[in-house]
Amino acid sequence: MGIEGAPESGYESMDFDELLKDPVAGSIVEKKALEYLQTENAEYFNREFSGELDEEGYLFKKDGTTSNTKPSQNIGGGLAMEKVMEMVRAELK
């Protein structure tokens, strides 16, 4: 069983950008990227951001201004991106 309305398969073969653009997976990518930043990259994240998002999904900086970046744009690539993709796929199953 997966997320209601989500196809049972297909997500496993998607890359990060495809997941991000997907109407179902995209919001989950942002949620899991924020989760990753707050746990795995907490020192950097907590120094720069409040953890709150504006109405368009952009992170607020510590000073209360919008950062013009979303959580997915702050995780970097490589292993961090792979970890977030694993988290997203696990939620979509």
* pLDDT of 92 above 90: yes
* pLDDT of 40 above 50: yes
Kindly state the tokens that stand for 71: 């959580």
The answer to whether the CB of 33 falls within 8 A of the CB of 77 is no
Percent of the chain predicted with pLDDT > 70: 90
Mean pLDDT of the chain: 91
| pLDDT, tens digit, 9 for 90 and up, residues 5-39 | 544 558 999 999 999 999 999 999 999 999 999 99
What's this model's pTM, rounded to 2 decimal places? 0.87
* pLDDT of 62 above 60: yes
Q: What is the pLDDT of residue 1?
A: 42
Kindly state the tokens that stand for 1: 């069983």
Q: Spell out the residues 6+ positions from residue 59 whose beta carbon is closer than 8 angstroms to its own.
A: 49, 50, 51, 52, 53, 66, 67, 69, 70, 71, 74
